[in-house]
Structure 1
Amino acid sequence: MERIVIISDEPEIRNQLTDRVRRILGDGLQIRQQTGRDASSQCKDADLVFIHTRMSRASSLEVARRMKKANPAALLIFFSENQEDVDFILGSDFDSFLWLRDPVDRLPAMLQTFEARFAANLEHFVRIKRRNRRQLLPKSSILYVERDYRKIIFHMDDGELISIYSTLDEVLQELDDSWLRIHNSYVVQEAAIRELHRDFLKLKDGSLIPVSRTYAAQAKQRIIPAAKA
């Protein structure tokens, strides 16, 4: 983990937690402190986010919800001076709870576990750089990838189009065997394919993607046996 965000409306608590984390993980770490009101936009490239359960100017649960939507790869720790606050966050999407007054310092073991968990999570995401900020795209949410001159366009399953300046070969290095190249300008998630025609594919969202002669035979070998199975 390289980027951590600590969210609290209380500067003293932010500073204390920042010092604890830095002592454990070292000075090379990038730690940003935020209040609840300005936090969501700053969490898009975070690896780990700490959210104070008690904030005066924002709902911690709402901040967590927005953060998870903007950055599903990040791990989330709620923290509080009160152990009873764990009941407040039950049912929400979080990875752990840190009790600040715990007589046993559980933070070192927690961070060690989370470093391993985050590294494993990266296998499920494509790493891109967008607007000078790193972003992680869930592979399962990408229907297909299109090259348009110097741009790469990720077509997401919710209809969003995400454009970056890169090459298709660089993107392919981030993808696994569940992806199929069908054209010099297109790579498709195999699970998104619904129909194979002579010179195009139909995807589950209705998109029609051209299949070039160069890749047609390989596409048929992969898709037709999978459909029969």
Structure 2
Amino acid sequence: MNILIVEDESRIAKRIERMTRDIFGDSLQSLKYANTFHEALRFIENNSLDLVLLDLNLNGDSGFDLLTTAVSKSFHTIIISAYKDQAITAFEYGVLDFVPKPFNRDRLEQALHRAITKEKIETNTVKILAVKKRHKVQLIPIEDLLYIKGAGAYTELFLSNGKKELHDKSLEKLEQLLSFSFERIHKSYLVKVSEIKEIIVESGSKYIAELKNGERIPIGRTKYKDIKAKWF
């Protein structure tokens, strides 16, 4: 696990670091610390990470400016902030958890546990997915997303307007964030359940989900019964 702590108060950063090292133990490969917006942005752009622990107030700079870049990346983001009123907005951007300050070890461990165990977020919180484009971050509303296809370490987002966008997060990480409305119907596909028009059984025990727009997505044999039960 490679982790970056983004926190402008060194006392709090050291406390987070101490607790994180204690919680992860030997599974922690590297733990770095950045105390400014620009330092954190440079590190995120130039290093491979599994998790970012982000404060929302960085010496006067808004952590949300960094958040839009962070959530477009392959890693998960956990907010640690005193700005509790911004928790809903942070979840809408696709953070894994929001730990309000002041916090204790148990609350931080609960948040980190989500990253370790790949615990799914069951509530309808994520409203957008941020996609990194060449020189900007594009925000895609979840309501415009029909299904997601795994593409190696990346994923392809298929939208209602017929366009396709590439996301840096894996299918597993997006499943963790979007499990409230998307179902893993196949090892390579996440589909919005409300977009399924019909479930088709073809010869040779092949199962197909036909979407409202006419597209046909394969259903894994081990997934068929669960999908049929939820769809009906």
Q: TM-score, normalised by structure 2?
A: 0.49
Q: Which is greater in Rg?
A: 1
TM-score, normalised relative to structure 1: 0.49
